[in-house]
Chains A and B, each alone.
Chain A
Amino acid sequence: MLEARNIAKSYASAEGPAPVLHDVSLTLEQGEFLAVVGRSGSGKSTLLNILCTLLAPDQGQVLYAGRDVTRLPEAELAALRRRDFAVVFQMHHLLPYLTALENVLLPFMTGLAPAPRDAVERARRCLDRVGLAGKHRRLPGRLSGGEQQRVAIARALVKEAAILFADEPTGSLDPATGREIVGLLQDLNADGLSVVMVTHDLGYASCAHRVLRMENGAPACAA
């Protein structure tokens, strides 16, 4: 479904290019739950950003549905992110001036046409599913950290994407709420959604079908 081939990435620094990833290859099958673990600076978030097309690699390819998405023009990349990929971040990144429902509907508010009625209904159902029934009209400031992350997950669910990318989704949550969120991701995966989750917590990673351990910008071993 998704394949990364020989990915390399460097960031510019005062001392010249600092390699972050070198020669990383991986595959994600349909319906698979892949956890990427590693210490801070191991390159796991950079890898996730490259996989979900937010970042272009210096070398290598990311193939999705047989197409190299690293070379797509900007408009096609935007369409891919809007349609097929969903991303959940450590910081839930909700727009503070939109209600929970409006935040979930953001993927459908990209143009002047109003969000379709069925999308609004689906957004309500997604919020209900992540346990936020009755809180649709609340602004993010009136939700707890865990609830905000649930809104972010509902936002990823609403567009019925093919792959959910989660970058440290439990990083800013207490352990109990973190477990709930990972449980939610497991439920979604059980329904057929492919998931790539970056985490530094091996406990959460154990819920995945497969774990990719990153060390110094390259896979250390697969479990």
Chain B
Amino acid sequence: MNLLTIPLRCARRKWPRFVLLTLVFALGATSMVALWHVSRVVGDSLERKLTAFGANILVAPKAETLAVSYGGVSLGNLLYEVRHLDEAATVAAIRSIALSANVAAVAPKLVGAATVGSEQVPVVGVRFDQEQTIKKYWRIKGLFPTRENEVVLGSTLAARLGLDFGSSFRLGGEEASVAGVLAPTGGDDDTVILADLGLAQRLFRLPGKVNFVEVSALCSGCPIEDIVAQIGGKLPGLEVKALRSVVEGRMASVHFVQHLTLAVALVILVSACAVVGFSMLSAVNERKAEIGLLRSLGYSRAGVFAIFCCEALLLGAAAGAIGALAGWGVGREVVLLLDAAGEVLPAFSLPEALAVSLGMALVAALAAAYPAAKAARIDPSAALVSL
């Protein structure tokens, strides 16, 4: 028997009130946890969808430039020592970082020019499976290549060369056929030949080499800087940079969803706190004589404060435990209902549930702090005489 016996026995004796308050608070906790699960899954799902609109990290050799000027006239920058990357080693290094689960696609590229008829045309060697992951907006007339000597033409270039899907033509020294023609994208892809990376490496006599690698990373769970730093650590000597505008644009959408749900959850939580606070305030008024008695028995103000805070802690911990479990269940059902998860459903985690329980206990204690402080300030003689 100690100080905690008082709030525990009180909760047991006044169990209907305790249960009702716990349920109200648990409702707030459930809403918060459910919204958190939903926002996390929806955020991830949204980001995966946004990944289709381009890469957000670029890995390239360090380009050394030299500013050239003479007689006060700038002659621009001189680019020298252009190096190539080893495709297999670079891709393997990127795939081996600690945050590899956040890497959605690794798309190496080799860019050069080749002769078609009498014309020099730009050729971009790509791995089509990775490229399609980061460019889901591509629409194609025909098919994506399944063989190495098949290519895809940008719409503008195809029109200029008079080629369509199914056409065959000489590309440099190689025989190639057009597997498909891209619908206009409004970007660089409209004016190039997209060839399999193996074909491009043969054309440019650079076996196993690429110019740069685009990486599409999912940033909702961690900052992009962490992924960039880890890739940089695996590939020293290369330039690894985040494409800020892409990251920020993409994350803005994800964060909007998360902030919206957080705001709704906070409103619910504040309402639940208000209910607990008002209820504790009314309990303090009801139990004035009890407080006066405890003070007359030698309980300090801190002791009285602790009794009411312990009641709230108990209530908050119980509500948090219920809320963690119910919130997970509700979140799961909502995600299923919205069909937002794809393959990933919210998972129940005991440490998270304990953290929610602890957090809600502290929030409840905070909500009860004012009533508890009011209880501690009650004049014992007035409290005893008042009844």
| A-to-B contact residues, CB < 8 Å | 45, 49, 52, 54-55, 74-75, 78-83, 87, 89, 91, 93, 95-98, 102, 105-115, 120, 155
Distance in Å: Cβ of B80 to nearest Cβ of chain A: 74
CA distance A169 to B2 in the complex (A): 27
Let me know if B293 and A97 touch, CB within 8 A.
Answer: no
- A45, A81, A91: which contacts B297 (Cβ < 8 A)? A81
CA distance A55 to B385 in the complex (A): 11
Task: Report chain B residues within 8 Å CB of A78.
Answer: 295, 298-301, 303
Let me know if A54 and B2 touch, CB within 8 A.
Answer: no
- A54, A91, A102, A105: which contacts B296 (Cβ < 8 A)? A54
B13 in the interface, Cβ–Cβ < 8 Å? yes
Task: Report chain A residues within 8 Å CB of B222.
Answer: none
CA distance A121 to B385 in the complex (A): 32
Let me know if B387 and A97 touch, CB within 8 A.
Answer: no
Let me know if B381 and A91 touch, CB within 8 A.
Answer: no
Q: Quick one: given A54-B295, A106-B297, are A115 and B2 in contact (CB under 8 Å)? A: yes
CA distance A162 to B28 in the complex (A): 51
Let me know if A81 and B2 touch, CB within 8 A.
Answer: no
B1 in the interface, Cβ–Cβ < 8 Å? yes
- A55, A98, A105: which contacts B381 (Cβ < 8 A)? A55
Let me know if A115 and B1 touch, CB within 8 A.
Answer: yes
C-beta contact mask, B290-334 vs A, less than 8 Å → 1, else 0?
A: 101111111111010000000000000000000000000000000
User: In chain B between 6 and 49, which residues have their CB closer than 8 angstroms to a CB of chain A?
Assistant: 6, 9-10, 12-14
Q: Quick one: given A45-B385, A54-B380, A91-B387, are A109 and B293 in contact (CB under 8 Å)? A: no
Let me know if B3 and A112 touch, CB within 8 A.
Answer: yes
- B3, B295, B296: which contacts A111 (Cβ < 8 A)? B3
CA distance A112 to B3 in the complex (A): 6
Distance in Å: Cβ of A216 to nearest Cβ of chain B: 19
CA distance A45 to B380 in the complex (A): 13
Task: Report chain A residues within 8 Å CB of B303.
Answer: 78, 110-111
Let me know if B298 and A95 touch, CB within 8 A.
Answer: no
Count of B interface residues, CB-CB < 8 Å: 30
Closest to B303 in A: A110
User: In chain B between 357 and 373, which residues have their CB closer than 8 angstroms to a CB of chain A?
Assistant: none
Task: Report chain B residues within 8 Å CB of A106.
Answer: 294, 297
Let me know if B3 and A81 touch, CB within 8 A.
Answer: no
Chain B contact residues, majority secondary structure: helix
- A45, A55, A95: which contacts B293 (Cβ < 8 A)? A95
CA distance A58 to B300 in the complex (A): 22
Let me know if B381 and A54 touch, CB within 8 A.
Answer: yes
- Please report the number of residue pairs spanning A and B whose Cβ atoms sit closer than 8 angstroms: 90
Let me know if B297 and A107 touch, CB within 8 A.
Answer: yes
Q: What are some 18 contacts across the A-B interface (CB < 8 A)?
A: A45-B385, A49-B385, A52-B296, A54-B295, A54-B381, A78-B298, A89-B293, A89-B384, A93-B289, A95-B290, A98-B5, A98-B6, A102-B9, A110-B298, A110-B299, A112-B3, A114-B1, A120-B1
Task: Report chain B residues within 8 Å CB of A83.
Answer: 298
- B6, B13, B381, B384: which contacts A109 (Cβ < 8 A)? B6
Q: Quick one: given A81-B297, A107-B297, A114-B2, are A97 and B384 in contact (CB under 8 Å)? A: no
Q: Quick one: given A45-B385, A93-B384, are A109 and B3 in contact (CB under 8 Å)? A: yes
Closest to A165 in B: B296
Task: Report chain B residues within 8 Å CB of A79.
Answer: 298
Let me know if A98 and B9 touch, CB within 8 A.
Answer: yes
- Among A78, A110, A111, A114, chain B packs the most CB atoms within 10 A around the CB of A110
Let me know if A87 and B298 touch, CB within 8 A.
Answer: no
B88 in the interface, Cβ–Cβ < 8 Å? no
Q: Quick one: given A97-B14, A115-B1, A115-B2, are A110 and B293 in contact (CB under 8 Å)? A: no
Having A54-B296, A97-B12, A109-B6, one finds 11 other A-B pairs with CB under 8 Å, namely A54-B295, A55-B379, A78-B295, A82-B299, A83-B298, A95-B290, A97-B10, A102-B9, A110-B298, A111-B2, A114-B1
- Among A96, A97, A107, chain B packs the most CB atoms within 10 A around the CB of A97
Task: Report chain A residues within 8 Å CB of B3.
Answer: 109-112
Task: Report chain A residues within 8 Å CB of B5.
Answer: 98, 102, 109
Distance in Å: Cβ of A148 to nearest Cβ of chain B: 13
User: In chain B between 98 and 132, which residues have their CB closer than 8 angstroms to a CB of chain A?
Assistant: none
CA distance A102 to B294 in the complex (A): 13
- B6, B12, B300, B381: which contacts A74 (Cβ < 8 A)? B300
Distance in Å: Cβ of B129 to nearest Cβ of chain A: 63
B4 in the interface, Cβ–Cβ < 8 Å? yes
CA distance A87 to B289 in the complex (A): 14
